[in-house]
Amino acid sequence: MTWSLNEVDSLSKKAARGSGMSWGLAEEAGKAARGLCEYGFDGPENLLSLLRDHDNLPYDDIAPKDHAGVWSAAKGGLCPVAAGAALCDLADDIARDAPLQMKGVVRPLLLLPFVQGAVAQSGRDLCLCWDGVQLHVSRDGVQIAGRESDLDCAQAPMVQVRAGLAREGQVLARAGRARMAQTTAAQLGEYAQRTYAPDTEASRLKGAGSNLSDND
Amino acid sequence: MKQPLHTDAIAPRDPETVMKLARMGAFHACRLSSMRVLLRRLKSEGWTFERRHFEIDAKADGYAVYTAHGPDHSYSLVAFSNNLPPEKRSDRVIATEWDATFTLLDGVPDAAEIAFLSRNIPRQEAGRVTGKSLSVSRANRSVRLFDYVVEQLAAGQQPDEQRVGDVGYLMRTTAVYGSGKLGAADREATSGRPEFKGPFQIEMLSVYLTRAFVMDLVEHLAKLRAPDTAVALQPSLRRRFGIGNSTGLGMAPFLINHPVLLNNWVGAREHALARVRNIAQGDAETFAEFNTLLARARVNAANWRSEHPLQIEKLQQLRTDLAQLQTHLAANPLGGQHPWNHLWVWAEQALGLEGQEQLASLMIEPHGALVDDLADTMHADEAGAFMIDGAMPVATLTSVLQDVYGWALDTDWEDEKARARVWYTSQEKLEPRLAERFDEPVEAYEQPLCPGRDAACLFSDLRAHGTGTVAAFLRDHPEHRHIVRRAQIGARYPYSEIRDNMISAQMLPIDLLRAKLSFFGAGHFDPRSDRWVRINMYKDAPFPDELARMDADDWTFPPLKEAGQ
* Overall number of domains in chain A: 1
A176 at interface of B, judged by CB pairs closer than 8 A: yes
Contact A85 B474 (CB under 8 A): yes
Q: Which residues contact B190 (CB under 8 A, 6 or more apart)?
A: B106, B134, B196, B202
**Any chain B CB within 8 A of the CB of A63?**
yes
Contact A82 B483 (CB under 8 A): no
Please report the pLDDT score of residue A216 as a whole number.
83
Backbone torsions φ then ψ of B398, nearest 5 degrees: -60, -40
The alpha-carbon gap from A85 to the nearest alpha carbon of chain B, in Å, equals 9
Kindly give, in sequence order, each residue whose CB lies less than 8 Å from that of residue B77, ignoring residues fewer than 6 positions away.
B65, B66, B67, B68, B102, B103, B104, B105, B206, B209, B210, B213
Name residue B5's beta-bridge partners.
B281
B460 contact partners, CB below 8 Å, separation of at least 6: none
For residue A21, the Cα-to-chain-centroid distance in whole angstroms is 12
A212/B481 Cβ within 8 A: no
CB contact, 8 Å: B30 with chain A?
no
Q: Which residues neighbour B501 within 8 Å (Cβ) at sequence distance 6 or greater?
A: B407, B408, B411, B418, B450, B452, B453, B507
Show residues of chain A in contact with B142, CB under 8 Å. 216
Give the residues across from B65 on adjacent strands: B53, B78
Tens digits of per-residue pLDDT, A8-49? 999 999 999 999 999 999 999 999 999 999 999 999 999 999
In a domain, A214, yes or no: no
* CB contacts, 8 Å: B128 with chain A: 1
Which of B131, B427, B478 lies nearest to residue A59, judging by beta carbons?
A: B478
* Cα B87 to the center of its chain, rounded Å: 29
| DSSP reduced 3-state for B528 | strand
Residue A215 belongs to some domain of the structure: no
B positions 521-540 inside 8 Å of A (CB): 528-532
Q: Does B126 touch chain A (CB under 8 A)?
A: no
Does the beta carbon of B425 lie under 8 angstroms from any beta carbon of chain A? yes
Please give the helix or strand (H or E) that residue B197 lies within, else none. Answer: helix B194-197
pLDDT tens for the 565 residues of chain B, in order: 445 556 679 999 999 999 999 999 999 999 999 999 999 999 999 999 999 999 999 999 999 999 999 999 999 999 999 999 988 998 877 789 999 999 999 999 999 999 999 999 999 999 999 999 999 999 999 999 999 999 999 999 999 999 999 999 999 999 999 999 999 999 999 999 999 999 999 999 999 999 999 999 999 999 999 999 999 999 999 999 999 999 888 888 899 999 999 999 999 999 999 999 999 999 999 999 999 999 999 999 999 999 999 999 999 999 999 999 999 999 999 999 999 999 999 999 999 999 999 999 999 999 999 999 999 999 998 988 999 999 999 999 999 999 999 999 999 999 999 999 999 998 877 878 899 999 999 999 999 999 999 999 999 999 999 999 999 999 999 999 999 999 999 999 999 999 999 999 999 999 999 999 999 999 999 999 998 899 999 999 999 999 999 999 999 999 987 544 3
Query: How far lies A141's CA from each of A99, A133, A174, in Å?
Result: 21, 17, 9
Distance from the A156 Cα atom to the nearest Cα atom in chain B, whole angstroms: 22
Question: Which among A27, A34, A26, A35 has a CA at the least distance from the CA of A54?
Answer: A26
Check CB contact of B41 with chain A, cutoff 8 Å. Answer: no
> Do B181 and A85 lie within an 8 Å CB cutoff?
no
The residues facing B74 across adjacent strands are: B69
Question: Which pLDDT score is estimated for B1?
Answer: 46
- Give contacts of B 389-408 with A, CB under 8 A: 390-391
Rounded Cα distance between A154 and B306, Å, is 59
Any chain A CB within 8 A of the CB of B163? no
The secondary structure of A139-202, three-state, reads CCEEEEEECHHHHHCCEEEEEEEEECCCCCCEECCCCCCECCCHHHHHHHHHHHHCCEECCCHH
CA-nearest residue to A118 within chain B is: B387
Query: Contact, B76 vs B105, CB < 8 A?
Result: yes
Q: Tell me whether residue A169 is in a domain.
A: yes
Cα separation, B15 vs B20, in Å, equals 8
Q: Among A2, A89, A120, whose Cβ lies nearest the Cβ of B388?
A: A89
Residues of B with Cβ-Cβ distance to A73 under 8 angstroms: none
* A213 within domain boundaries: no
Amino acid at A174: R
Confirm if A176 and B189 have CB atoms less than 8 A apart.
Answer: yes
Q: How far is the C-alpha of A88 from the C-alpha of A70, rounded, in Å? A: 16
DSSP E strands in B84-130: the ranges are: 100-106
Residue segments in chain A with a per-residue pLDDT below the cut of 70: 165-166, 204-205, 207-212
pLDDT at residue B563 in the model: 46
Phi/psi at B562 (nearest 5 deg)? -60, -35
Residue A20's domain comprises 5-208
- Check if A59 contacts B (Cβ < 8 Å): yes
Q: Do B474 and A89 touch (CB under 8 A)?
A: yes
Kindly determine whether residue B475 and residue A86, on different chains, have CB atoms separated by under 8 Å: yes
Measured between CB atoms, which of A7, A89, A209 is closest to B183? A7
Q: How far is A134 from chain B (nearest CA, A)?
A: 24
Which residues from B are below 8 Å from A54, CB to CB?
A: none
Q: Across the strands, what pairs with B56?
A: B62
Scanning every residue of chain A, which has its alpha carbon at the shortest distance from the alpha carbon of B127?
Answer: A1
- The sheet carrying A65-67 orders its strands as A65-67, A70-72, A100-106, A155-163, A126-130, A133-138, A141-146, A170-171
Contacting residues of B for A33, CB less than 8 Å apart: none
Q: How many whole angstroms separate alpha carbon B97 and alpha carbon B282?
A: 54
Which chain B residues are Cβ-neighbours of A193 within 8 angstroms?
Answer: 427
Nearest residue on chain A to B486, alpha-carbon basis: A24
Write out the DSSP string of A46-68.
HHHHHHHHHTT--HHHHS-EEET
Distance CA B124, CA B103 (A): 10
| CA dist., res. A155 & res. A52, Å (int) | 13
* Chain B interface includes A182 (CB < 8 A): no
> What's residue B467's pLDDT?
94
Candidate from A2, A195, A215 with C-beta closest to B445: A195
Q: 3-state class of B129 per DSSP?
A: coil
Q: Are B479 and A204 in contact (CB < 8 Å)?
A: no
- A212 contacts B528? CB cut-off 8 A: yes
**pLDDT score recorded for residue A207:** 65
Residue A93 and residue A108 in contact, taking contact as beta carbons nearer than 8 Å:
no
Cβ neighbours around B283 below 10 Å, total? 17
Contacts of B435 in chain A (CB under 8 A): 197, 203, 206-207
In eight-state DSSP terms, residue B469 is B
Q: CA angle at residue B266 from B265 to B267, to 5 degrees?
A: 90
E strands within B196-240?
none
Q: How many CB pairs under 8 A join A and B?
A: 170
Write the residue in B90, B307, B432 that is nearest to A214 by C-beta.
Answer: B90
| B430 interfaces chain A, CB cutoff of 8 Å | yes
Any chain A CB within 8 A of the CB of B130?
Answer: yes
Could you tell me the residue ranges of all domains in chain B? 1-30+260-378, 34-248
> Closest Cα partner for B510 from B525, B500, B523?
B525
Residues 114-153 of chain A with CB under 8 A from chain B are 117, 120-121
Q: Is B437 at the interface with chain A, CB within 8 A?
A: no
| Phi-psi region at B430: left, alpha or beta (left = phi > 0; alpha = psi -120 to 50) | left
Biggest alpha carbon–alpha carbon distance for chain A: 69
**How far is the alpha carbon of B469 from chain A, nearest alpha carbon, in Å?**
9
| DSSP-derived 3-state class of residue A137 | strand
Q: Does A83 touch chain B (CB under 8 A)?
A: no
Would the CB atoms of B180 and A117 count as touching at under 8 Å?
no
Residues B393-435 pLDDT 10s: 999 999 999 999 999 999 999 999 999 999 999 887 787 889 9
